[in-house]
Amino acid sequence: MRKFILPKLTVSIAVFALLLTGCTNSASKDEAGQQAVTPVASEPTQPASEPDGAGTVEVTDIYGTVIVPVNPQNVVALDNRTFETLSDWGIQLAAVPKGVMPADSPYVNDASVQDIGNHSEPNLEIIAAVNPELVIVGQRFASYYEDIKALVPNAAVINLNFDVSVEADAPGDNLVNGLKDSTLALGQIFDKNEEAAQLVADFEKAIEDAKAAYNGTDTIMSVVVSGGDIGFSAPRSGRVWGPMYEIFGWVSALEVDGATSDHQGDDISVEAIAQSNPDWIFVLDRDAAISSMEDAVPAQDVINNSPALQNTAAVTKGQIVYAPNDTYTNESIQTYLELFEDLASALGK
């Protein structure tokens, strides 16, 4: 999959439009899989009409260049990697997939924001009903790109997905560049260039700090806890943690043949984890991010109550790092920024 190319701003206001309308600006501000979508050729999308006085930006997504109005009205967002950024910037959304979003997201609790449903059985007709100028596709909804384009032919549709799956050539680079480039693209679209640049700068610093904090020899065991079970998050391909082995140069405590990017982690015995005797255990609590899992057992309890793990170096030394609780449904640049800062703090002690 192609990496993002940094977007370039293109002013598209015609002179005669300024003469007719003055300076009027009617625009308002507004996985479980991570598998890559095979790119297909697509011509640049130009909305049939754009707000008077508004400019446009050329965004290069995984399919090519898409012309997007700046500060578009009626925005639909479907990419879990973008929700927190859009919320922090005060962007108003017309529709989102509430079923696969953090329960405390402002969009989930806003009755005026339409619910498209989850990616398994989405109600895509809602997208057409809200008449969007922009639809942001990615991650869980990436495979619906062509369907959505057909539903809203007058809207700009961008696919910000990037590949960190088991098939990816460089999942570490893809994660870093994907988060940075999509953040900068959103900054261009919503006139938040300074905010986007600051986020990227903070993100880059967190990466450097986490790299510097790792001693290069301690062994790492990364896991996903789901339904009270501990799954293995393999180097390179494992859910959330996999790309970080490349980013930070981690030494894995265990190698497993046929590892996947399964959202619950690969099946592995707790005894095998214990025998690998990792210096560190990094944990993703999948259930903590899903509001419907009312009877879920917290990951910390699962780790603490596992007799087989109690004699490992990681547990006896207290060297366990938990990803933010909403990580499974909020893989935003802010989430990774927080996680990398936590890793730098823990590894640097």
Instruction: Express each pLDDT in 211-223 by its tens digit.
Output: 999 999 999 999 9
Token pair 């930006």 is found at: 57
Q: What's the confidence (pLDDT) of residue 289?
A: 67
- Convert the pLDDT of each residue in 84-134 to its tens digit: 999 999 999 999 999 899 888 999 999 999 999 988 889 999 999 999 999
Sheet arrangement for strand 5-10: 5-10, 56-61, 64-69
Q: What's the confidence (pLDDT) of residue 255?
A: 79
Q: What's the confidence (pLDDT) of residue 24?
A: 38
The SS3 of residue 284 is strand
Q: What's the confidence (pLDDT) of residue 259?
A: 53
Mean of per-residue pLDDT scores for the chain = 83
Please check the confidence at residue 301 and state whether its pLDDT lies above 60: yes
C-alpha of 205 from chain center: 19
Cα 118 to Cα 141: distance, rounded to the nearest angstrom: 9
Q: What's the confidence (pLDDT) of residue 21?
A: 41
Q: What's the confidence (pLDDT) of residue 295?
A: 60
Pick the more confident residue, 133 or 3. 133
Pick the more confident residue, 62 or 198. 198
Assign 35 a pLDDT band (cuts: 50, 70, 90).
very low
Cα 185 to Cα 195: distance, rounded to the nearest angstrom: 12
Please check the confidence at residue 29 and state whether its pLDDT lies above 70: no
Q: What's the confidence (pLDDT) of residue 13?
A: 35
Please check the confidence at residue 56 and state whether its pLDDT lies above 70: yes
Specify whether the CB–CB gap between 299 and 285 falls below 8 A: yes
Helix axis angle for 333-347 and 171-189, nearest 10°, is 130
Strand bridging mode 280-285 / 251-252: unpaired
Q: What's the confidence (pLDDT) of residue 164?
A: 87
**Rounded to two decimals, what is the model's pTM?**
0.80
Cα 332 to Cα 221: distance, rounded to the nearest angstrom: 23
Q: What's the confidence (pLDDT) of residue 227?
A: 84
Please check the confidence at residue 46 and state whether its pLDDT lies above 50: no
Q: What's the confidence (pLDDT) of residue 1?
A: 38
Cα 290 to Cα 304: distance, rounded to the nearest angstrom: 21
Pick the more confident residue, 6 or 168. 168
For residue 200, CA distances in Å to 77, 80, 163, 178, 250 come to 21, 18, 19, 11, 23
Assign 267 a pLDDT band (cuts: 50, 70, 90).
low
Cα 234 to Cα 170: distance, rounded to the nearest angstrom: 14
Cα 259 to Cα 52: distance, rounded to the nearest angstrom: 52
